[in-house]
Structure 1
């Protein structure tokens, strides 16, 4: 099975429906010459399965799959539900999505359907059941991809069926209108509901403002609708698929609990990696020391949190863009190889390039693949040959786990609530960016860990330090998990705006940080956003003056063992506590009253004793990751994201998997270069 820990594989996305049959065999054979053994097909081809309502045809895909098997190619087969056909949407317009104003989103793009229409779900069931029953036995098919990039084009759903499904969701969750009204605080501004039919998803309102608690439930509903939509297809596929075939989908996109989705319906998640999204034509992202050059590493860490065993379904291989948007430059020489190794360095054992050949028509005529329109070899295909040869040299890494000392904690509730709440939502992105950059520059690998009432996506005891920048929504179950982590010897770092909301986004009448106060040993006695007229805020920590930006909680120690480590400098609360520390059991808790700028996060890293896992001299331009096998073998990946050579120093002798040579002392990495070094056991 793909991603079984035995081999790192390469693949590509292929669209035989775009090309004359005379090209198929040559394409498949050329792919194999470049190390590609897996192709993904069929995600946008509903008409080829069902050209008319209720009339199914298998001639096209039977012919192609037989050829793929003959050529020794393995196939990931997709359900085509991301693009319902014109005959369906014209006859059954209720399947179309609608915007905030109730206007239908018409046929002509993709993802124009909603995910709750009973009519659409029945068509989905029928086409998926036909595909699964007919094709699952085909020897070329090794796995299934459901749909394509769910919630990619929009996370806004307002069709009549969506409103009806939202009411059903709320009725199932709350039982009575009395319970709903209480939880949603509808007494405010006379929003009380007296009938379920009065309830709608968000609509056009004055000032574009809606009940914040209903908006949080709306996002939970959208996530649940997407999970049920994918789950419907997964359950059908599991009835027919062979035991060795897997089920996945590709993402990750917003307003979707990808952890729940993967746990309930998928064998693993795949990610679509487009590093040039970090740049496009936005020159601000090219600022010195921006680290936008490795933005994808942040996203790969998020994917690894969802699915420790994961692959890349779409790896950028050429310049990208539609005719209407998303203009991106071509990968520079060396970047295709670099980005491939970036994915592998973060844990992927399958990398599939988008796409084999650039389409000559349609919206994605500028979303280039490995080959251009002319179908001739080019520098990207030559680079792919080198990449394939190098991957064959590092097969010992297959199945190895990513190693991290630090965890950044997240939860969907706080994230979704912050999409509307300007008093805490913007803080999260700033702190995540600050910690990401500081850890990257210190060459300290980290993981994201998701927290919910049911538990964590990875055992917290695996980490030395856990940073929870702004856990706005807190429950007793989550507070208990954090307490257990600290009592067992972990270090927990909290930022401002922590714990002041309940699960519905309401603010209980209790001192902030609410349910976290017994853990921190302190409460918040005052707080303020820093406005444009305020000077930049700092805290004095020892002899250092360190940024404390955006929002300031003024802390008050409540227990004798809660110690003030730093005080604010400036504003009306000058000299008042900004940072406290408390020992709990075998561990410790830091409560910080502001947002984590990069400099702030770096100060915490230094004082917490977090260090790079290797004692090597590495420049900021080089990223370090480590993967470890179950037998203890460790492999360090060094990735140079710049167009300049980078000097490194490795004091002990290590073996390079790419060259077979011993590396010791000073060395130079080529522009966009990669090193994979076997770390001796200690």
Structure 2
């Protein structure tokens, strides 16, 4: 394998030289040196420039900039350029265009206007990939291949006839027989029994609710269809450019849920992701931390690559807020604190035209003589000093389970509450742990849970028998397991586990839930020690200790929080989402029972603390998310200021990275 730049924390981002006249290219490379840039992602949306007509390739401009970048000592993450077809391809083959649930064609004029299963699109895309791999495999600037871009950002799900044909083939591989399909989908209900494979369609808009397992399987199929496409491009790269690292940029921000990234990670050599602050969220900084912990979980704990984030405002929110002075550095290092060894932005130079012309960049419209560029220059100097921690891993003793397929099922039709986000409990618990300076690994249920002292199972609606057994094994081995409401309800076919909720965890927890009592947005129920929100349940205790009860309403006196000793550990059940104060006290109890302490004792409110470790070395990240100075009882050599600190005084919005010891 060729080495990715690892002597310093790699810094860079998307570079689109085709948007600019050639004299700007030399200026760009000079400015990249000033900013400490060591890599760029190149060619992501360049198909129409590389192949302006069918089979007619123009590589001279890409050859030139690749040569210039190599001469400048800048590594290239080179895209296969297949993310968006050129207009000539869509005009010649309109059958490649995706179709929405109502049967409307999604026309070109934006980006990613292609059907995930189109054989025509695949042929053209693989032909371009082959040309790129053959031409640039030996180029000394090439350090990594970037396959497509942000799969499923705009073209999933597609409901066209080609997808219908591939869906039927996918179902035949999954179920083998129609009897098995009918059983899995529960087609005895509403006269939905299938007697021939060609009767099966995508879950297009119908007269009423679609079959929930049908909808779930279509989400599985859609993720698998794009994964198959990615593997096809990867196969071309492996054939014509062996030994070069391969990645594609995931989107682990909480609003993107189209792909089961857990199944995608074996196809990439480096896990990379894109993340952007969403100001409309109630807790955007906590969401950033969740995304980083999820990305690290997908990487199996290994360092990962932040392919894209923004220096300042984005262009796609109702109001696109600029980042405050210092926030460009703080946001970047927040990702490093969560395990990123590479920091990339979209994009290098802010566009003059197009849909993203007001999206921030390293070089803004104001040019290099700007506060934003000077802040990036400062980050470049810091990144140079952070090279010593490259390859280190984040320290975490808490696991929080995250499963895309469970989310898909929980968001399906006809649920007890369509207003409850499948990640509500996960995000809330993670945020309160984050506020306490306790780091979580956000992992799939198939992870080795016995490696953790605390395991959180938040709204894991769908779970297999195997994964439920692994949760129980973790408790028996000594972990404190906290299971929340609406977990363990269904199996892999989205069939309800009978006998009382939370089916898969009923024996582990020693409780039996007879009925759900959803509360809805803004709904509350009194508890003996606080207030419950969003959800409540009729809980009967079979073998557990009641720690909290409902204090009003139809469930008054019923258990809201229980605990049961299990082997060397314990199993806790929470049947509502308490207010932050009560939930925080519960988490303190669970952490104490598991012997988990904060990264830094006495951490001020609003300061984030995370530790990375490698061998005998450790580095403590401290990020002040408040507008006031904060004192933190910690000491070490600060790689941000390059000086020794005995007791840290963080400026408002300030950051410290301490080499401890």
What TM-score results when the alignment is normalised by the length of structure 2? Answer: 0.94
Mean Cα displacement is larger for which, 334-343 or 566-575? Answer: 566-575
Which stretch shows the higher mean deviation, 180-189 or 54-63?
54-63
Tell me the residue number matched to 1:403: 395
Could you say which residue in structure 1 is the equivalent of 2:567? 585
- C-alpha displacement of 1:608: 1.8
Contact 1:151 1:254 in 2 (8 A): no
- Give, in whole Å, the separation in 1 of the partners of 2:59 and 2:637: 52
Secondary structure class of the residue paired with 2:573: strand
Alignment of 1:36-435 (within 5 A): 36-207=37-208, 209-252=209-252, 253-263=256-266, 265-275=267-277, 277=278, 279=279, 282=280, 285=281, 290-307=282-299, 308-321=302-315, 327-373=319-365, 375-421=367-413, 422-423=415-416, 426=420, 428-435=422-429
Q: Distance in 2 between matches of 1:158 and 1:598?
A: 42
Contact 2:450 2:473 in 1 (8 A): no
Are residues 162 and 150 of structure 1, via their aligned partners in 2, closer, same or farther at CA, if it must alter by over 3 Å? same
* From 634, 648, 652, the counterpart of 2:631: 648
Aligned-residue CA RMSD in angstroms?
Answer: 2.1
Please give the alpha-carbon distance, in whole angstroms, between the structure 2 residues aligned to 1:383 and 1:93. Answer: 46
The separation in 2 between residues aligned to 1:115 and 1:519, in whole angstroms, is 42
| Contact residue 43 and residue 147 of structure 1 kept, 8 A | yes
How far is 1:571 from its partner? Answer: 1.4
Q: Do structure 1's residue 668 and structure 2's residue 649 form an aligned pair?
A: yes
Runs of 4+ in 1 over 4 A off after TM superposition: 1-6
Please tell me whether the aligned partners of residues 619 and 646 of structure 1 are also in contact (alpha carbons under 8 angstroms). Answer: no
**Cα distance, 1:661 vs structure 2:** 3.6
- Pick which of 76-85 and 300-309 moved more: 300-309
The structural deviation recorded for 1:154 is: 4.5
Structure 1 residues 427 and 593: CA distance shift in structure 2, 3 A: farther
Q: Give, in angstroms, the shift of residue 132 of structure 1.
A: 0.8
Mark the CA change 1:531 to 1:440 in structure 2 (over 3 Å): closer, same or farther. closer
Q: Counterpart of 1:574?
A: 556
For the Cα contact (< 8 Å) 2:260–2:404, is it kept in 1?
Answer: yes
Provide the C-alpha distance between the structure 2 equivalents of 1:239 and 1:117, rounded to a whole number of angstroms: 23
Query: Aligned to 1:316, what secondary structure does the other structure show?
Result: coil
| Residue 21 in structure 1 maps to residue 22 in structure 2 | yes
Task: Tell me the alpha carbon deviations over residues 481-533 of structure 1, each in whole angstroms, 9 at most, x when there is no partner.
Answer: 1121111111111111222212111213332222322211221134322368x
| 2:617 matches 1:633 | yes
Q: Of residues 524, 529, 532 in structure 2, which corresponds to 1:536?
A: 524
Match of residue 502 from structure 1: 491
Q: Distance in 2 between matches of 1:110 and 1:58?
A: 22
- 2:512 corresponds, among 501, 504, 523, to 523
8 A Cα contact 1:234 1:247, kept in partner: no
Residues 363 and 536 from structure 1, CA distance in 2 versus in 1: closer, same or farther, beyond 3 angstroms? Answer: closer
Deviation at 1:149, TM superposition (A): 0.7
1:605 matches 2:587:
yes
Q: In 2 relative to 1, CA 180–484 (structure 1 residues): closer, same or farther, beyond 3 Å?
A: same
Q: Residue 491 in 1 paired to residue 494 in 2?
A: no
> Aligned to 1:415, what secondary structure does the other structure show?
helix
* 8 Å Cα contact 1:469/1:596 also seen in 2: no
- In 1, Cα distance between equivalents of 2:271 and 2:77: 13
Counterparts of 1:388 and 1:634, CA distance in 2: 22
2:609 matched residue in structure 1: 624
**Structure 1 residues 597 and 134, CA, compared in 2 at 3 Å: closer, same or farther?**
farther
CA distance in 2, matches of 1:177, 1:489: 44
Q: CA deviation at 1:612?
A: 4.2
CA 1:169 to 1:597, structure 2 compared with 1: closer, same or farther past 3 Å?
A: farther
> Which runs of 5 or more residues in structure 2 are unaligned?
none
Query: 1:163/1:329 Cα in 2 relative to 1: closer, same or farther (>3 Å)?
Result: same
User: CA separation of 1:197/1:32 partners in 2, compared to 1, >3 Å: closer, same or farther?
Assistant: same
Question: 1:402 & 1:679 partners in 2: Cα distance?
Answer: 14
Taking the aligned partners of 1:381 and 1:2, their CA distance within structure 2 comes to 28
Cross-structure match for 1:472 = 461
Superposition deviation, residue 470 in structure 1: 1.5
For these two proteins, the number of residue pairs brought into alignment is 650
Contact 1:42 1:78 survives alignment (8 Å): yes
CA drift at 1:8? 1.1
Distance 2:367 2:639 in 1: 33
Give the secondary structure class of the aligned counterpart of 1:394. Answer: helix
Shift, 1:15, TM fit: 0.6
1 CA distance for matches of 2:244 and 2:84?
28
